[in-house]
Chain A
Amino acid sequence: MSNTERHLPIAGERDIVLARQVARSWAQELGFGAIDASRIATAVSELTRNVVRYATGGRGEVTIREVKSPEGRKGLEIEVSDEGPGIEDIELVLRDGYTTGQGMGLGLPGTRRLMDETHIESALGRGTTVTVRKWKA
C-alpha cells in the first residue's frame, strides 16, 4: 500500500468515525496545525455522512492522499465517491440550509468553508464524487 494514498470503504456509520480519525492524524503528521486538522476531520465527517445517508445502500469510498501544488506546497486531498442517485442541482446543495433529508443542510456548504478547494462531480443515477483539498500554510 502506498503511504501517500489511503482508501477506506464507507459502508456504515462507524466508517465515518474511522475516516475522520485517519484524516485528522494524517493532517497532524503532515504538519497541519490543530485548527486545520479539525477543519479537515470535520469536512471528512460531513462528506462521508452524506454517503451513509444518501448514497444507494449507504455505500461509497473515501480516498485520502498527499498532494503537492505547482508552487510546491504540501496538501491533503480527500475524495469521497459513491454510486448514489447523484445531485440534480449542485448550486442548490451548496446553499446553506438546503436539504432533502433530515439534516440541516450544512454538510456541503460548511465543508466548502472549511476547505481551500471543493470540486463536485455528479451524474444523475450514476453517482457523486466530491474532492476537497487543504493546503499547508
Chain B
Amino acid sequence: MLTSAIIKVRDTLIVSVQEDLGDEDALDLQAALTQQLERTPVNGVLIDLSLVHVIDSFLGRTLNDLAVGVRLLGARAVVVGMQPAVAITLVELGLELRRIQTALTVERGLDLLARSTNHRL
C-alpha cells in the first residue's frame, strides 16, 4: 500500500513523502511514481521531503534512483523541503545526492521546473 501522496498539478507531479518511510515504502513509492509517469506524462516531478526526519543510506539511494528514473522517462525531478538537520546528516553519512536537483521550498521548486521547461522549448 502506498502511504505517500502523488498529486498531479498541471504539468507536474507533486510527491508528498510520508513522515517515516520504511525500505518497502520507499520502493513502493518508486514503483508507483514510475507507473504514474507512464500513464500521465508530465514535465516535472516535485518530491517534497518536508515531513521526513530521517534519510539513511537506503532512502538516500532510493531517492537518487528515483530521480534518475524520472529523467529516463523524460521528466525532471526536483527535491524540495529537506530539513537542514537531514541535509547535514546526509553529507556526514557520505551520501551526496549529486544527481538530484534541490530547492528550498515547493514554490522555488516549481519555479525551477518551469524555467527548465521553457529552456527546453
Contact = CB atoms under 8 A, between A and B. Distances in A.
A14 B53 contact: no
B89 A38 contact: yes
A34 B83 CA distance: 10
Given A13-B24, A17-B20, A38-B86, A113 B56 contact: no
A114 B92 CA distance: 6
A46 B57 CA distance: 7
A80 to B, nearest CB: 14
A65 to B, nearest CB: 20
Secondary structure of the A contact surface, majority rule: helix
B54 A41 contact: yes
17 contacts: A17-B22, A20-B56, A33-B85, A35-B84, A35-B85, A39-B89, A39-B92, A41-B54, A42-B89, A45-B56, A45-B58, A103-B58, A104-B95, A106-B94, A107-B57, A113-B92, A114-B93
Contacts of A13: 22-24
Contacts of B83: 34, 38
A38 B94 contact: no
Contacts of A96: 94
A103 B109 CA distance: 30
A46 B56 contact: yes
Contacts of B94: 96, 106, 109-110, 113
A79 B92 CA distance: 21
A114 to B, nearest CB: 6
Task: Categorize the interface residue count of chain B.
Answer: 20 to 34
B55 interface: yes
Contacts of A109: 94
B121 interface: no
A10 interface: no
A45 to B, nearest CB: 4
A51 interface: no
B1 interface: no
Contact of A49 (B20, B53, B58, B88): B58
A45 B58 CA distance: 9
A76 interface: no
A103 B92 contact: no
Contacts of A34: 83-85
A41 B90 CA distance: 12
Nearest to A15: B22
